Amino acid sequence: MSTTILILLLAIGEFMIGTSESIVTGIIGMVAEDTGVSVSLAGQLVSGFSLAFAFGSPLLIAFTAKMERKKLLLFALLLFIAGNFLAFLSPGFSTLMVSRILLGLIGGVYTVVALAQAANMAPPEKKGRAIAVILMGFSVSLVLGVPAGTLLGDAWGWRPIFAIIAAATVIPFVAIWLFMPKQQAQKSVPLRTQLSILKNRRVLLALCISFFFVTGYSTAYTYITPLLQTATGMTTAWVSTTLLLAGVASVAGSRIGGMSTDKWGVKPTLYVCLLAQAVMLFILPLSAQWFVGAIISIMIWIGAVQSTVPAQQYYLITLSPHSSEIALSINTSIFQLGLAIGAGLGGLIVEHSTVLNLGWVSGVLVLIGLCFAWMTFSQKEKSVPLQACSND
């Protein structure tokens, strides 16, 4: 089987991971009502997943470093299926949270290993594209998985959604089992070695960009369903449609961000995309009260978020060309930490204020990220090879 097909199989698995992670956004109100908890507490299901991903998966990756990679991918998918069935069968909120933590741990392992294996299987001139295909699996989950899950949740309830995800994950499991060749285990990288790249001030500042713009994104997007229902009176069907359009914008944004980085460079791409995020978040409380305005604002905002990601990843590669995988691994954990903290902060805002204030707070966080971008670009540049990283 061709390398391209094998990478697509890995991307299908990542689609399932992304759907399972993001689906709570669309069904948060249903989960809160059914389990008898507040919307803000239900939002911490996002935090549980993300914190497990951020802190637990790197430890599991180190612990399983000597395991053959195909076997590890299959084992991860098997546990992922079990975790979704646990969510389906959960009698209450506590068990559901346990399932989310398990899914975060396993999702993190699968994502990191799949990215590494895609890069290893691809020829040198196509490694960037191979990584982009895996990441596209997550973007597509926003386009198809989350809106579809929201509609299904409205029709059947939220529990069957996790059973469907579990059943669908059998497809990449069987395909990887049958067609993917065995992959050699990788050399374990000590934690001290991984963290040594943080001695580079520009890398540290760049990671702060990731943390603040992702935290800003999560603060608002985790509670986007109650925000739209409160501000515009959207039905579940219209919320699902809005999330679908936002998902389309995310895929387009990823493409635009990659092309912009290649054509105009990292600095202007990050500046423009971060500024666009902040502007859209600041006007979201106002535009959200206008039906069409809410949809347009959210599409532009999500498109800008996804345009930021490839530029940010490429920037980290240029800052640490000899340890790029480690830098991207740490950046992935920073992303998940931002998602977790944003969900918690958004929950506090919803609990003690109004959902309309989510936009203002999120916008300020993104502006802080923009300040860190200015700081890192202001540092004295080191001589590093700037070979284009294609996102085609």
**DSSP codes, 157-196:** -SHHHHHHHHHHHHHHHHHHHHHPPP-PPPPP--HHHHHG
- At residue 203, the pLDDT reads 87
- At residue 280, the pLDDT reads 94
**Structural domains in the chain?**
1-188 (1.20.1250.20), 194-392 (1.20.1250.20)
Sign for the pseudo-dihedral over CA of 252, 255, 258, 261: negative
Distances in Å between the Cα of 249 and the Cα atoms of 139, 256, 260, 346 are 10, 10, 16, 23
- At residue 388, the pLDDT reads 36
Consecutive 10-residue runs of the chain (392 residues): their mean pLDDT? 84 91 82 88 86 82 81 94 94 93 91 80 70 77 74 85 93 90 64 68 91 94 85 80 85 82 87 95 83 89 89 79 66 84 89 86 96 88 40 36
- At residue 57, the pLDDT reads 76
- At residue 382, the pLDDT reads 46
Which single residue is written with the structure tokens 């409160």? 230
- At residue 189, the pLDDT reads 57
- At residue 383, the pLDDT reads 37
- At residue 384, the pLDDT reads 41
How many Cβ atoms from other residues are within 10 Å of residue 201's Cβ?
A: 13
- At residue 328, the pLDDT reads 67
3-state secondary structure of 322: coil
Given a contact cutoff of 8 angstroms between Cβ atoms, the answer to whether 15 and 140 are in contact is yes
- At residue 200, the pLDDT reads 80
Secondary structure percentages of the chain, helix, strand, coil, to 5: 85, 0, 15
- φ, ψ of residue 190 to 5 degrees: the values are -55, 150
Q: How far is CA 168 from the centre of its chain?
A: 20
- At residue 387, the pLDDT reads 39
Q: Which helix (H) or strand (E) holds 281?
A: helix 266-287
Contacts of 6 (CB under 8 A, 6+ apart): 121, 179, 180
